[in-house]
Structure 1
Amino acid sequence: MCGVDELVERVDDQDRVLGVVVSRRQAVQEGWLHRVAVTVCRDERGRVLVHRRSERVSRFPGLFEVEVGGAANVGESYEQAAARELAEELGIRALPRLLFTFLNRSGLSPHWLGVHEAVMSDAVAPDPDEVAWHGWLTQPELQSALLEWRFTPDSHEAFSRYLAFRTVTARNDQ
């Protein structure tokens, strides 16, 4: 949410909730671990949704992202936070599937990142306060964009881990 300081729960280095509620701003300033949920959105043809953040957002204005997401609010699971963020930012109702979590040290401060996937139609209605531009890119187009465009700090790591997860999962399914 643009310009609003959410309340988050602190977690430990094993991603266990500590029962301490703080503002996200304070968690970032102090380097306290908290949870963030993101979703990689794909369409039925396998293209990936990429967007450029609005100039009005407080974190990383104008940078591109491969995933859609934000902090998990107090009492929210990763999946609930991911679904809420999809509705807020893209205007879509979807139940993203949690693929994995990892301790992300890129970005403004360390946090646990829950990476989800959602397959959807290409009809999205982004909130202009959050998203300045969006497009569906093929894998080769996205690989080029990752080298040429300015992405948020965690986009590269989260997306490379997502691709590795999908590769391992596909191999295990054979």
Structure 2
Amino acid sequence: MSERVERVDEQDRELGVVDRDEAIRNRWLHRVATVVCRDATGRILVHRRPGSAARFPGQYNWMLGGAVEAGESYADAAGRELAEEAGIRAQVRFVLKFLCHGTISPYWLGLHEAVIEGDLTPDPREIAWHAWLPEPALREALDQWPFVPDCREAYARYVALPGGHRSSELATDP
């Protein structure tokens, strides 16, 4: 059995708790939390998934994240995923939420940011390679490297924010 997630509607209202694999198989809306990691200079963490990963093997991403478990907030899930995938704990800040049609299934994506101080301890089952890229290098990489398809839409929405993703003010988690 996989993770238990909340099946939600088009307004992100809970309909019930289901198995995540069932939600994906039936294309039911559920919630995913992601976190964009920045260092003190503003560079963004980019990583490549292992070739053995069940989903998107060998592809790159500029976000860490995963399913929001039943009863969990987007922010709590983002913090948990950051710890699980990168081996670090940091305060996450809500940036935006949108309905992503998704390559394998639709879902609500809650995007957060965290400023990372210190070294990562990546889980090799999640991260095969990583580097910190300035935004111009990330934009170039998005055009050239095989990125997870859903992260392209998230990036377009993220950079379209009027300076909101660089704000030091904490936003309210939905």
Task: Assess if the C-alpha contact under 8 Å between 1:5 and 1:24 holds in 2.
Answer: yes
Alignment of 1:53-64 (within 5 A): 53-64=49-60
- Candidates 1, 4, 8, aligned match of 1:7: 4
Which residue identity lines up with residue 56 of structure 1 in the other structure? Answer: S
| Alpha-carbon distance in structure 1 between the residues aligned to 2:164 and 2:121 | 32
**1:67 is aligned with what amino acid?**
M
Q: Does 1:163 align with 2:159?
A: yes
Residues 53-98 of structure 1, C-alpha deviation per residue, up to 9 Å, x if partnerless? 1123211111000100000011000000000000000000112111
Q: How far apart in 2 are the matches of 1:115 and 1:169? A: 10
Q: 2:109 aligns with which of 108, 113, 133?
A: 113
| Residue of structure 2 in register with 1:141 after alignment | 137
How many correspondences in the alignment? 168
Displacement of 1:106 in angstroms is 2.6
- State how far apart, in whole Å, the 1-side matches of 2:166 and 2:146 are: 30
TM-score when scaled to structure 1? Answer: 0.91
- SS at 2:121 equivalent: coil
- Cα deviation per residue 1:90-119 (whole Å; 9 max; x = unaligned)? 000112111111000132111000010111
Amino acid at match of 1:48: I
Provide the aligned C-alpha RMSD in A. Answer: 1.8
The answer to whether the Cα contact below 8 Å between 1:38 and 1:70 also exists between their aligned partners in 2 is yes
Shift of 1:167: 2.8
Closer/same/farther in 2, CA of residues 122 and 51 from structure 1, 3 Å limit? farther
User: What is aligned with 1:17?
Assistant: 14
Q: TM-score, normalised by structure 2?
A: 0.91
Range moving further from structure 2, 20-29 or 68-77: 20-29
Q: Identity of aligned pairs, percent? A: 52
> Aligned partner of 1:63: which letter?
Q
